[in-house]
Amino acid sequence: IGVLALQGAFREHRQTLERLGCAVTEVRLPKHLEGLDGLVMPGGESTTMAGVLMIPQGLGALVTMPIAGMLVDKYPVGRIVPVGIALITGGMFAFTQLSADSSYWGFVIPALFVMGLGMGATMMPIMTAALQTLTHKEVARGSTLMNIVNQAAGSIGTAVISVILATNLKAHAESQLAIASNAAPEKYDLLVKAGQAPQDPPGQWFSWAAEAFGATFIVAVALIVVTIISTAGAPLLLSTLAPCWA
């Protein structure tokens, strides 16, 4: 029996088959298929596959970053950044409509690409505008401080969204079993053997899981909308407070 060793928990699949007395071959190249009586394709996403799914986001940023860099020299940052954040909101909003039948090519990849466009149109203007206000001696410290803020904010945001997602998944415990059936099939098989889960998870379980993710993305979209409002109003606020600081 061959086990496709490109994604998922292929090592656990191999160990399980070997315990059952099967001769197992890890399949990485077409020639490895010769002489096999069957092929097991592990489910779930490996770290590599998860990274590949981020490529569209990177390509989107690659398109807009140079354009945003040129526009910074001609237009105020307050006019450019809201456009980028609006693109991020559009891509993020698409994930609020996530369903169990959503496909990579028809749904996930286009949404990630749009988000990437927004990120490229946001990061470059913000970094440029922030560093332009610093003297040559202050640039190094300012750049370090911005990186620290980005890392800290990203960590806090990830933790908050993770807690919200976990809470949403708990509304239907079966949704977590549906996820496990794809992401960790070897552990799900143990639950099946123990009589704690069915062999084939009902489609409703996957729908509940998709709804949990969709509800979580609604919170993320709401946070982005707040950011749009704050960035749009920042120039007016600064112009109002400038006389007071003077």
pLDDT of 181 strictly over 70: yes
pLDDT tier, 7 (very low <50, low <70, confident <90, very high otherwise) = low
Residue 82 DSSP one-character state? H
pLDDT of 96 strictly over 50: yes
Report the C-alpha gap between 134 and 142 in whole angstroms.
7
13 or 124, which is more confident?
124
Which strands sit side by side in the sheet containing 25-27, from one edge to the other?
25-27, 2-4, 39-40
The helix or strand, by DSSP H or E, that contains position 2, with its residue range, turns out to be strand 2-4
pLDDT of residue 228: 75
1 in Cβ contact with 25 (< 8 Å): yes
If phi > 0 it is left, if psi is from -120 to 50 it is alpha, else beta; for residue 35 that is left
Ranges 27-31, 81-85, 131-135, 237-241: which has the least confidence:
237-241
Q: pLDDT tens digits for 117-138?
A: 999 999 888 888 888 888 888 8
Amino acid in the structure at residue 79: R
Look up the pTM and report it.
0.71
DSSP annotation string for 125-140: HHHHHHHHTS-TTTHH
CA 152 to chain centre: 18
pLDDT of residue 245: 45
167 or 42, which is more confident?
167
Q: What is the C-alpha radius of gyration for the chain, rounded to an integer number of angstroms?
A: 24
Q: Is 155 helix (H, G, I), strand (E, B) or coil?
A: helix
Q: Is 209 helix (H, G, I), strand (E, B) or coil?
A: helix
Report the C-alpha gap between 26 and 35 in whole angstroms.
13
Report the C-alpha gap between 126 and 190 in whole angstroms.
50
pLDDT tier, 17 (very low <50, low <70, confident <90, very high otherwise) = confident
Alpha carbon distance, N-terminus to C-terminus of the chain:
77
Report the C-alpha gap between 199 and 214 in whole angstroms.
26
DSSP annotation string for 95-126: HHT--TT--IIIIIHHHHHHHHHHHHHHHHHH
Q: pLDDT tens digits for 43-72?
A: 555 556 666 778 899 999 999 999 998 888
The whole-chain average pLDDT of the chain stands at 81
pLDDT of residue 226: 84
